[in-house]
Structure 1
């Protein structure tokens, strides 16, 4: 998941407000790529996900697609 938030606490709050209570945020092994930063900053929800981050061909999806709203 990519979460656009001012800090770690706000990122957790955004996720928990969506019903994701068991979320634990860990630091990235590597800094986000320019494409990841652009994706999350320019998406109106500011919250994106993808199922297989190690596969470059999988695109980011808006949180609405995961939650079914």
Structure 2
């Protein structure tokens, strides 16, 4: 269940969006947004946080304009929320909130 895409911005940087299984949960999926200088650096940022098996193959699900705006206005440039239902009204969360979740859900 790994899907994603990217969008190159006018300044040369990129926003990468990935839909991945949530850490510690095989059933739940999350949408992760990363703002970086290029695609390789975006994926490296995620790998450095412990999401080792992260790859971007193709551009099937590029970030929407709303997603781009959200990640550009966040100081870390790294956000997530539950997927695949963006209409549920859930706000974006800093990546630290996702990585704090333990496998037991507590």
Shorter-chain TM-score: which interval? 0.7 to 0.9
- Report the Cα offset of residue 15 of structure 1: 0.5
Instruction: Using structure 2 for the length normalisation, give the TM-score.
Output: 0.54
Q: Distance in 2 between matches of 1:27 and 1:58?
A: 27
Structure 1 unaligned segments of length 5 or more: list them.
none
Instruction: Using structure 1 for the length normalisation, give the TM-score.
Output: 0.78
Report SS of the residue matched to 2:61. coil
Please identify the structure whose Cα radius of gyration is greater. 2
Q: What is the RMSD of the two structures over their aligned residues, measured on CA atoms?
A: 2.7
Q: Distance in 1 between matches of 2:79 and 2:72?
A: 10
Report SS of the residue matched to 2:79. strand
- Report the Cα offset of residue 27 of structure 1: 4.2
Structure 2 unaligned segments of length 5 or more: list them.
1-31, 100-104
After TM superposition, where is structure 1 displaced by more than 4 Å over at least 4 residues in a row?
A: none
